[in-house]
């Protein structure tokens, strides 16, 4: 018994040590989100893990780029140098990660990006439809305000593409369909809740008449909700978030947050992992252009949130 | 053997043993690709650290280096986006910009006799803000990180054989700066100014000019590193380099240049930079949490500084004891 | 005056004031080529100012200077004077630590490889070693400065000046931190310099050195030239007479020592401290002012620091209020010892803090409760008490001490101790840098404290001050008690003679 175990360990060692020789039977997949500390990136990870659960010959490793593009580039290099077979990447910046993605692909390592596409073609991009979902949020806000009112936006940091796309979609819809809705403020709340509270407080002080707030992610929406609640104006302001994380969905059920653009992040992560496996096993062939796979958004409000099943909440 | 030589030997020993341990622990460590990327990483920090070493030798500090990296990358990307100037024209301009920032730092420090830390912290803030303002925007005013396609510019991120150009430049710059420090009058003045500014002035050294020159060099090094960073990333971001001051300071201090001035050299900094890059790479390779990285780096700084202070005290005590014994012997002789 | 005139330097009618009283008034000073010329005078006679003017550190208000036949402009500076060939061997040495002897000698003028901006280190070391060997110094060109004793560092400074082709070397108290063997070595070097045709200006309080070395002596007093003595006129006694000068009236110059019968507060027996103090024994009694005289470097300050507990000592025994006492600063403060240090700015006050704060710090025990919390009211009471006792101006406890005048700063330092239950007060140079009015007030304070039964130890280089205040005077020389004036009449001259080591007309 002990002998078999030892043999198995030795084999495993040999397998890892000889890397290339056994590439056909054993795969390493790297997962590199912008940061590991967010509900979204954790949900992706769970999605990826679930998709790879029954594949015994696949190992998955994740690294934390700590929201710095320079660090993410270093970590890409590390995945490449360690001979990973595929990389699932959420680029912190489209331009900054392009070179790394190109380098990986040139060494035959397919890269599947999440949410943010890069400038040069690679295997695939599994993305939430940021612009479309932003548009959808604006339509909902416009309808509920009756086409008139003051709106503020909690932005993402400068250069963060996903946030910018969401905001662009939102603004485009308002300009086209609800020209009487005025955007009274837009400030960077750095994706996070604390900053969301701080920025929302200043919006509340400056604007006595504020009818709606769009935060380009749920964390900032939750921050905005806390600020509005302590100012006693929660009932008067429609708050919309983006992503649809579990905690936000619960707040929507309680009626504290108006709605969010929900995407099934588990599914999204799973799709990316499945795509990677298909490429590795040869079930799919890599095309010349990036294959864009859009995960459709869903407007979760108090009326519709019940449609999202418990196991799909992240 | 002198204190600094012993210290250097210990560091090199550690460098080799950590490298050996990593080679055993992680099969992908001792590959050409990994070593070259490690050197590339080290070189980006190292180029900035060379300039910072000179500042530290004069007993000063330059907190603006990170912001110089940011603003230089913004300057380059603006040239690329809005002008048709070739890279060999605007790169010298960008480098001159780094020198200019250093000159401003040096001018305020020497002319108004302001503390180095405050002056450079202020320029850091101003430059970080300017970098955001200068960032290229799209038609709706959102910061857009330009994907650089200028081939001459991008060639800075290329390799010669397996070695990255930045690594070659780092070692050449290190060699030249070491030569400058140890073998030219201006280099000697840098040490003298740091060790004893009053005595230096009495000896006829223009300490103000020396200081301004040192800060200009520090700005130049940061700007140079910025160009290599932008070329590597094929883009420029307004927050490039901000926060990288810690790594630079750590490299220099681990390399044996103290904050007290008058001592230190470039080879120490080169070793310190490699040491730090190795530790960071090792943490990645071993799959450890990235959050322990700053803790490890902070810990190494504390340990080296304590060891330095302890050893210095020990050496001084020994020197006094020997001197006493000599004196006693001399008396007996009489 | 031509370049081959016998005079190297000629100063005429030099006036200088620093926005206040005249520091130098119509002073003439001349130097012959290749002579050793001593410049003497009491503290404040104007020696340093004259040197500063010659070396361009400060500018004169009136008068002319001719050096090597060239007239030196008023707007002179240090670097220009060095180019002329004037070098100063500084008391606080101006060498760069961490560098070698050769590097220091050739700083800013290192030899280069022909046509390259690269220093030829081998050549630099060789040239330095050649210089060292030529003068027969015990040095190696590659030695690092930090590892050399003070005397050898001074040698490096002299070499540095020689490499600058200096024709005039000014040495300000060069022997103050040297042992006697080292001093003898230095005198050999000075005579060697003279034989090379270099002129040396020698400033010292040690009359026997002046007597041994000098070709001529210029005596200054109160910013005026007294006289220039030629070689045959020089004798230590004569110099001292000229320095003190003014035909002192009986009451001014003669002070009767008073025997006090109070209880002994502090007794010091056989105190020794290697290299600094040697077998010091004395007593100080209640109500007595004990003066300590001696030259700078004679061990006075070291002695005070030792008995207060700042620095340790090797052997000896202290008895304080009848009990064996091993001093430490905390115990000294708690036991009613006060100490007003020599360097007020460095050791006595915290300039950025108010009067209240400064006084509070030294009296934390009196103003805080057992839990360690400071009572603002009590702190203020103490400060008000000190201010009114000493008439500090302005009488505002919230003024930052750094903004007070020197005299008032000194009052705050004394005030820190005054409001305690004081038994022994040590004051080191109590009136340096304060004006005459404030001096008088300081004297009165010290006298009043003595009347109240406090034992006071005064250390002073100011002879009139020392003789005026003291009931008894102990003179230190080279870390030893050389003389005690305990009874009878004593004059300033007596003290200076003792301090200079002159016993009845000759040198010791």
Nearest-by-CA chain A residue for B236? A96
- The pLDDT, as a whole number, for residue B286 is 82
What CA–CA distance (Å, rounded) separates C471 from C374?
40
Say whether the ipTM exceeds 0.95: no
Tell me the CATH number for domain C7-244.
3.40.50.300
Predicted confidence (pLDDT) per residue in C395-418, tens digit: 888 888 877 777 788 888 888 877
- The pLDDT, as a whole number, for residue A22 is 43
Q: Which residues of A274-308 are buried (b: 16+ CB within 10 A; e: fewer)?
A: bbbbebbeeebeeeeebeeeebebbbbbeeebeeb
Query: Count of CB atoms within 10 A of residue C130's CB?
Result: 10
Interface residue ranges in chain A relative to chain B, Cβ cutoff 8 Å: 16-17, 19, 61, 63-64, 66, 68-71, 73-75, 77-78, 80-83, 93-96, 98-99, 119, 158-159, 164, 167-168, 171
A63/B284 CB distance under 8 A: yes
What's the pLDDT band for C20 if we cut at 50, 70, 90? low
Which chains share 3+ C-beta pairs under 8 angstroms with A? B
B240/A98 CB distance under 8 A: no
A69/B233 CB distance under 8 A: yes
Nearest-by-CA chain B residue for C161? B203
Mean pLDDT of A196-205: 92
- Contacts of B285-288 with C-beta under 8 Å, sequence gap 24+, read B285/A78, B285/A82, B285/B22, B285/B25, B285/B26, B285/B28, B285/B29, B286/B22, B286/B25, B286/B26, B287/A61
CB-nearest to B204 from C79, C90, C93 is: C79
What CA–CA distance (Å, rounded) separates A178 from C182?
96
- The pLDDT, as a whole number, for residue C38 is 94
Q: Is A259 found in the same domain as A112?
A: no
CB contacts, 8 Å: C160 with chain B = 203
Residue owning tokens 């995945």 = A79
Mean pLDDT of C80-100: 81
Helix axes B116-134, B87-111, angle to 10 degrees: 150
- Compare C296 and A93 and report the one with higher pLDDT: A93
In a domain, A20, yes or no: no
CB-nearest to A95 from B140, B235, B281 is: B235
B319/C147 CB distance under 8 A: yes
Among B183, B214, B199, smallest CA distance to B59 is for: B214
Is residue A279 over pLDDT 60?
yes
CB-nearest to C94 from B191, B199, B323 is: B199
Q: Is A176 found in the same domain as A308?
A: yes
Nearest-by-CA chain B residue for C147? B319
What CA–CA distance (Å, rounded) separates B307 from A269?
49
What are the structure tokens assigned to A102, written together? 């190109």
What CA–CA distance (Å, rounded) separates B224 from C72?
49
Strand partners, C269: C317
What is the sign, positive or negative, of the torsion defined by CA atoms of C55, C59, C61, C63? positive
Strand partners, A182: A150
Tell me the CATH number for domain C255-336+422-507.
3.40.50.300
What CA–CA distance (Å, rounded) separates C424 from C446?
11
- The pLDDT, as a whole number, for residue C463 is 81
Contact criterion met (CB below 8 Å) for C496 and C464? no
Contact criterion met (CB below 8 Å) for B35 and B294? no
> How are beta strands C277-285 and C264-273 bridged, if at all?
antiparallel
Cβ neighbours of residue A84 closer than 8 Å, sequence gap 6 or more: A28, A29, A30, A61, A109
B202/C78 CB distance under 8 A: yes
What's the pLDDT band for C92 if we cut at 50, 70, 90? low
B202/C118 CB distance under 8 A: no
Q: Is A185 found in the same domain as A225?
A: yes
**Percent of chain A with pLDDT strictly greater than 70:** 92
Q: Does C125 touch chain B (CB under 8 A)?
A: no
CB contacts, 8 Å: A96 with chain B = 145, 233-235, 237
Helix (H, G, I), strand (E, B) or coil at C322: coil
CATH number of domain containing A189: 3.40.50.2300
- The pLDDT, as a whole number, for residue B44 is 95
Predicted confidence (pLDDT) per residue in A235-273, tens digit: 899 999 998 898 999 999 999 999 999 989 999 999 999
Helix (H, G, I), strand (E, B) or coil at C118: coil
Cβ neighbours of residue B178 closer than 8 Å, sequence gap 6 or more: B265, B266, B267
What CA–CA distance (Å, rounded) separates C296 from C290?
18
Size of interface A-B (CB pairs under 8 A): 85
Alpha helices in C229-275 (DSSP H): 236-244, 250-253
Rounded to a whole number, what is the distance in Å from the CA of A118 to chain B's nearest CA? 9
Interface residue ranges in chain B relative to chain A, Cβ cutoff 8 Å: 26-28, 31, 33-34, 37, 41, 132, 135, 140, 142-148, 157, 229, 232-235, 237-240, 243-244, 281, 284-285, 287, 289-291
CB contacts, 8 Å: B34 with chain A = 78, 81-82
Rounded to a whole number, what is the distance in Å from the CA of A50 to chain B's nearest CA? 21
- The pLDDT, as a whole number, for residue C506 is 41
Among C209, C230, C132, C208, smallest CA distance to C219 is for: C230
Q: Does C108 touch chain B (CB under 8 A)?
A: yes
Q: For the whole model, what pTM was predicted?
A: 0.77
What is the sign, positive or negative, of the torsion defined by CA atoms of B186, B188, B194, B197? negative
CB contacts, 8 Å: B192 with chain C = 96, 99, 107
Q: Cα C59 from chain centroid?
A: 23
Predicted confidence (pLDDT) per residue in B266-291, tens digit: 999 999 999 999 998 888 888 777 77
Cβ neighbours of residue C507 closer than 8 Å, sequence gap 6 or more: C207, C208, C211, C236, C501
What CA–CA distance (Å, rounded) separates B66 from B128?
9
**Percent of chain B with pLDDT strictly greater than 70:** 95
CA dihedral C148, C151, C152, C154 (to 10 degrees): 120
| Interface test with chain B among C56, C89, C95, C96, by most B beta carbons within 10 Å | C96
Is residue A15 over pLDDT 50?
no
Helix (H, G, I), strand (E, B) or coil at B214: helix
Cβ neighbours of residue C150 closer than 8 Å, sequence gap 6 or more: C93, C177, C178, C182
What CA–CA distance (Å, rounded) separates B193 from B211?
8
- The pLDDT, as a whole number, for residue C433 is 66
Which chains share 3+ C-beta pairs under 8 angstroms with C? B
In a domain, A11, yes or no: no
What's the pLDDT band for C146 if we cut at 50, 70, 90? confident
- The pLDDT, as a whole number, for residue C5 is 64
Strand partners, C24: C16
What CA–CA distance (Å, rounded) separates B81 from A123?
28
What CA–CA distance (Å, rounded) separates A280 from A123?
11
Predicted confidence (pLDDT) per residue in A104-131, tens digit: 999 999 999 998 888 889 999 998 888 9
Residue owning tokens 């009052």 = C411
CB-nearest to C118 from B184, B189, B202 is: B184
Rounded to a whole number, what is the distance in Å from the CA of A192 to chain B's nearest CA? 18
> How are beta strands C480-485 and C488-490 bridged, if at all?
unpaired
A209: left (phi over 0), alpha (psi -120 to 50) or beta: beta
- The pLDDT, as a whole number, for residue A12 is 46
Rounded to a whole number, what is the distance in Å from the CA of B311 to chain A's nearest CA? 36
Q: Is the peptide bond before A39 cis (omega within 30 degrees of 0)?
A: no
Predicted confidence (pLDDT) per residue in A60-76, tens digit: 989 888 888 888 999 99
Is residue C148 over pLDDT 80?
yes
Helix (H, G, I), strand (E, B) or coil at C451: helix
Q: Does C247 touch chain B (CB under 8 A)?
A: no
Is residue A8 over pLDDT 70?
no
- The pLDDT, as a whole number, for residue C496 is 83
- CA max distance for chain C: 81
- Compare B116 and B283 and report the one with higher pLDDT: B116
What are the structure tokens assigned to B192, written together? 């003298």
CB contacts, 8 Å: B262 with chain C = 96-98
How would CATH label the architecture of B3-333? Orthogonal Bundle (1.10)
Mean pLDDT of C63-73: 89
Helix (H, G, I), strand (E, B) or coil at A298: strand
Number of domains making up chain A? 2
- The pLDDT, as a whole number, for residue B332 is 62
Q: Is A114 found in the same domain as A154?
A: no
In the predicted model, what is the mean pLDDT of chain C?
83
Q: Does C94 touch chain B (CB under 8 A)?
A: yes
Length of chain A equals 314
What are the structure tokens assigned to B203, written together? 């000896």
Rounded to a whole number, what is the distance in Å from the CA of A100 to chain B's nearest CA? 8
What CA–CA distance (Å, rounded) separates B248 from B269?
9
In the predicted model, what is the mean pLDDT of chain A?
87
Contact criterion met (CB below 8 Å) for B237 and A93? yes
Predicted confidence (pLDDT) per residue in C334-381, tens digit: 888 888 887 666 667 787 888 888 888 777 777 777 777 877 888 888
Q: Is A196 found in the same domain as A237?
A: yes
Contact criterion met (CB below 8 Å) for C360 and C385? no
Cβ neighbours of residue C202 closer than 8 Å, sequence gap 6 or more: C36, C37, C38, C39, C171, C174, C190, C209, C210, C213, C214
Is residue A24 over pLDDT 90?
no
Q: Is A186 found in the same domain as A161?
A: yes
In a domain, A244, yes or no: yes
Contact criterion met (CB below 8 Å) for C143 and C100? yes
- The pLDDT, as a whole number, for residue C494 is 84
Residue A144 structural domain: 130-263+300-312
Q: Cα C508 from chain centroid?
A: 23
B234/A95 CB distance under 8 A: yes
Boundaries of every domain in chain B: 3-333
Query: A132-146, B7-21, B125-139, C73-87: which has the minimum mean pLDDT?
Result: C73-87
A164/B284 CB distance under 8 A: no
- Compare C240 and A196 and report the one with higher pLDDT: A196
Query: Count of CB atoms within 10 A of residue C342's CB?
Result: 17
Q: Cα C249 from chain centroid?
A: 28
Q: Is A220 found in the same domain as A249?
A: yes
In the predicted model, what is the mean pLDDT of chain B?
90
C98/B202 CB distance under 8 A: no
What CA–CA distance (Å, rounded) separates B185 from C117?
8
Rounded to a whole number, what is the distance in Å from the CA of B187 to chain A's nearest CA? 34
**Percent of chain A with pLDDT strictly greater than 90:** 60
Angle value at C-alpha A164, between A295 and A205, nearest 5 degrees: 120
Mean pLDDT of A194-212: 92
Predicted confidence (pLDDT) per residue in B3-25, tens digit: 678 888 988 999 999 999 999 98
Interface residue ranges in chain B relative to chain C, Cβ cutoff 8 Å: 179, 182-186, 188-189, 191-192, 195-196, 198-205, 262-263, 319, 323
What CA–CA distance (Å, rounded) separates A193 from C59?
66
Q: Does C178 touch chain B (CB under 8 A)?
A: no
Query: Count of CB atoms within 10 A of residue B21's CB?
Result: 13
What's the pLDDT band for B297 if we cut at 50, 70, 90? confident
Length of chain B equals 334
Boundaries of every domain in chain C: 7-244, 255-336+422-507, 349-420
CA dihedral A139, A143, A145, A146 (to 10 degrees): 130
A96/B237 CB distance under 8 A: yes
Counting CB pairs under 8 A, whether chains B and A reach 3 or more, is yes
- The pLDDT, as a whole number, for residue C4 is 55
Helix (H, G, I), strand (E, B) or coil at C473: strand
B233/A19 CB distance under 8 A: no
Nearest-by-CA chain C residue for B4? C98
- The pLDDT, as a whole number, for residue C406 is 74
Predicted confidence (pLDDT) per residue in C265-301, tens digit: 999 999 998 878 899 999 999 999 999 988 877 888 8
Contact criterion met (CB below 8 Å) for A179 and A142? no
Contact criterion met (CB below 8 Å) for C277 and C457? no
CB contacts, 8 Å: B285 with chain A = 78, 82
In a domain, A53, yes or no: yes
Query: Count of CB atoms within 10 A of residue A234's CB?
Result: 17
- Which helix (H) or strand (E) segment holds residue B303: the answer is helix B292-333
| Residue C387 backbone dihedrals phi, psi, to 5 degrees | -65, -45
CB contacts, 8 Å: B198 with chain C = 94
Q: What is the DSSP string of A250-275?
A: HHHHTTSS-EEEE--HHHHHHHHHHH
| Interface test with chain B among A82, A165, A166, by most B beta carbons within 10 Å | A82
In a domain, A17, yes or no: no
- The pLDDT, as a whole number, for residue C3 is 47
CB contacts, 8 Å: B281 with chain A = 78
What's the pLDDT band for C435 if we cut at 50, 70, 90? low
CB-nearest to B184 from C97, C98, C117 is: C117
């Amino acid at each position: 018994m002990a002998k078999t175990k030892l043999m198995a360990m030795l084999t495993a060692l040999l397998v890892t040590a000889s890397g290339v020789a056994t590439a056909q039977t054993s795969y390493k997949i790297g997962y590199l989100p912008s940061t590991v500390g967010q509900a979204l990136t954790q949900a992706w990870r769970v999605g990826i893990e679930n998709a790879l659960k029954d594949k015994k010959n696949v190992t998955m490793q994740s690294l934390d780029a700590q929201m710095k593009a320079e660090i993410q580039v270093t970590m890409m290099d590390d995945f490449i140098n360690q001979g990973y077979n595929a990389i699932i990447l959420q680029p912190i910046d489209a331009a900054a990660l392009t070179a790394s993605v190109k380098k990986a692909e040139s060494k035959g390592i397919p890269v599947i990006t999440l949410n943010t596409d890069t400038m040069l073609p690679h295997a695939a991009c599994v993305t939430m439809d940021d612009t479309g979902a932003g548009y959808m949020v604006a339509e909902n806000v416009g309808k509920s305000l009756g086409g008139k009112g003051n709106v503020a936006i909690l932005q993402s940091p400068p250069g963060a593409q996903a946030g910018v796309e969401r905001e662009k979609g939102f603004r485009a819809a308002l300009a086209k369909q609800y020209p009487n809705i005025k955007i009274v403020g837009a400030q960077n709340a750095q994706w996070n809740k604390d900053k969301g509270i701080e920025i929302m407080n200043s919006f509340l002080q400056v604007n006595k008449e504020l009818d709606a707030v769009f935060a380009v992610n749920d964390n900032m929406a939750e921050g905005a909700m806390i600020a509005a609640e302590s100012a006693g104006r929660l009932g008067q302001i429609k708050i919309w978030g983006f992503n649809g994380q579990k905690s936000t969905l619960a707040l929507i059920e309680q009626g504290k947050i108006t709605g969010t653009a929900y995407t099934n992040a588990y599914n999204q992560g799973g799709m990316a992992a499945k795509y990677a496996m298909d490429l590795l096993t040869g079930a799919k062939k890599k095309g010349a252009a990036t294959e864009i796979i859009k995960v459709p958004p869903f407007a979760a409000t108090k009326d519709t949130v019940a449609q999202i099943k418990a196991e799909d909440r992240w | 053997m002198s204190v600094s030589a012993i210290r250097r030997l210990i560091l090199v020993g550690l460098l080799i043993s950590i490298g050996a341990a990593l080679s055993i622990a992680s099969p992908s460590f001792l590959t050409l690709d990994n070593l070259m990327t490690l050197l590339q990483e080290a070189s980006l920090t190292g180029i900035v650290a060379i300039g910072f070493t000179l500042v530290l030798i004069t007993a000063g500090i330059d907190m603006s280096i990170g912001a110089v990296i940011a603003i230089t990358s913004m300057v380059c990307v603006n040239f690329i986006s809005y002008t048709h100037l070739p890279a060999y024209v605007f790169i010298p301009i960008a480098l001159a910009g780094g020198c200019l920032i250093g000159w401003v730092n040096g001018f305020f420090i020497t002319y108004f006799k302001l503390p180095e830390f405050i002056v450079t912290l202020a320029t850091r803030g101003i430059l970080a803000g300017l970098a955001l303002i200068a960032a290229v925007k799209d038609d709706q005013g959102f910061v857009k990180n330009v994907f650089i396609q200028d081939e001459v510019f991008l060639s800075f991120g290329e390799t010669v054989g397996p070695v990255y150009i930045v690594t070659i430049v780092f070692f050449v710059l290190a060699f030249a700066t070491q030569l400058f420090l140890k073998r030219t009058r201006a280099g000697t003045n840098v040490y003298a100014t740091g060790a004893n500014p009053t005595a230096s002035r009495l000896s006829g050294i223009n300490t103000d000019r020396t200081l301004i020159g040192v800060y200009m060099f520090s700005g130049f090094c940061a700007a140079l590193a910025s160009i290599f960073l932008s070329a590597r990333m094929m883009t420029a971001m307004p927050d490039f380099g901000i926060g990288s001051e810690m790594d630079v300071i750590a490299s220099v201090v681990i390399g044996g240049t103290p904050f007290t001035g008058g001592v230190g050299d470039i080879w120490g900094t080169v070793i310190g930079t490699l040491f730090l890059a190795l530790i960071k790479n090792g943490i990645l390779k071993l799959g450890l949490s990235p959050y322990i990285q700053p803790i490890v780096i902070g810990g190494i700084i504390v340990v080296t500084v304590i060891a330095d202070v302890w050893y210095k005290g020990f050496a001084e005590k020994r020197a006094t004891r020997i001197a006493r014994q000599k004196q006693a012997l001399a008396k007996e002789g009489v | 005056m031509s370049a081959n005139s016998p005079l190297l330097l000629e100063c005429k009618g030099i006036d200088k004031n620093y926005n206040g009283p005249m520091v130098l008034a119509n002073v003439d000073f001349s130097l012959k080529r290749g002579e050793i010329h001593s410049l003497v005078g009491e503290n404040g006679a104007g020696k340093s100012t004259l040197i500063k003017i010659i070396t361009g550190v400060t500018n004169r208000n009136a008068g002319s200077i001719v050096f090597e036949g060239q007239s030196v402009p008023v707007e002179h500076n240090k670097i220009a004077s060095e180019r002329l060939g004037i070098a100063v061997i500084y008391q606080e040495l101006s060498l760069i630590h961490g560098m070698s002897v050769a590097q220091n000698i050739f700083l800013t003028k290192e030899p280069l490889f022909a046509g390259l901006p690269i220093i030829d280190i081998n050549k630099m070391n060789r040239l330095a070693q050649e210089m060292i060997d030529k003068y027969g110094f015990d040095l190696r060109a590659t030695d690092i400065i930090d590892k050399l004793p003070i005397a050898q560092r001074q040698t490096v400074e002299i070499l540095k000046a020689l490499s600058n082709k200096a024709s005039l070397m000014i040495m300000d108290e060069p022997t103050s931190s040297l042992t006697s063997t080292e001093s003898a070595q230095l005198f050999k070097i000075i005579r060697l310099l003279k034989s090379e045709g270099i002129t040396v200006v020698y400033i010292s309080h040690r009359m026997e050195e002046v007597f041994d070395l000098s070709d001529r002596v210029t005596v200054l007093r109160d910013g005026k030239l007294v006289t220039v003595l030629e070689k045959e006129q020089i004798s230590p006694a004569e110099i001292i007479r000229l320095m003190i000068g003014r035909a002192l009236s009986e009451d001014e110059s003669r002070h009767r020592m008073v025997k006090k019968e109070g209880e002994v507060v502090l007794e010091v027996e056989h105190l020794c401290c290697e290299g600094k103090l040697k077998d010091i024994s004395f007593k100080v009694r209640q109500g007595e002012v004990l003066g300590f005289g001696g030259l700078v470097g004679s061990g006075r300050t070291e002695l005070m620091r030792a008995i207060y507990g700042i620095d340790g000592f090797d052997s000896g025994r202290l008895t304080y209020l009848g009990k064996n006492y091993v001093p430490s600063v905390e115990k000294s403060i708690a036991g009613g010892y006060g100490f007003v240090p020599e360097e007020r700015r460095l050791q006595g006050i915290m300039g950025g803090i108010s009067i209240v704060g400064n006084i509070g710090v030294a009296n934390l025990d009196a103003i805080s409760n057992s839990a360690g919390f400071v009572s603002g009211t009590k702190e203020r009471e103490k400060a008000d008490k000190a201010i009114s006792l000493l008439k500090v101006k302005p009488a505002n406890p919230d003024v930052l001490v750094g903004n007070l005048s020197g005299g008032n700063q000194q009052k705050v330092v004394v005030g820190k101790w005054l409001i305690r239950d004081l038994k022994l007060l040590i004051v080191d140079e109590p009136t340096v840098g304060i004006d005459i009015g404030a001096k008088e007030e300081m004297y009165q304070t010290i006298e009043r404290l003595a009347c109240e039964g406090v034992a006071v130890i005064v250390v002073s280089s100011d002879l009139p001050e020392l003789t005026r205040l003291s009931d008894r005077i102990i003179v230190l020389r080279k870390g030893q008690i050389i003389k005690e004036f305990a009874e009878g009449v004593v004059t300033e001259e007596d003290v200076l003679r003792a301090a200079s080591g002159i016993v009845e007309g000759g040198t010791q």
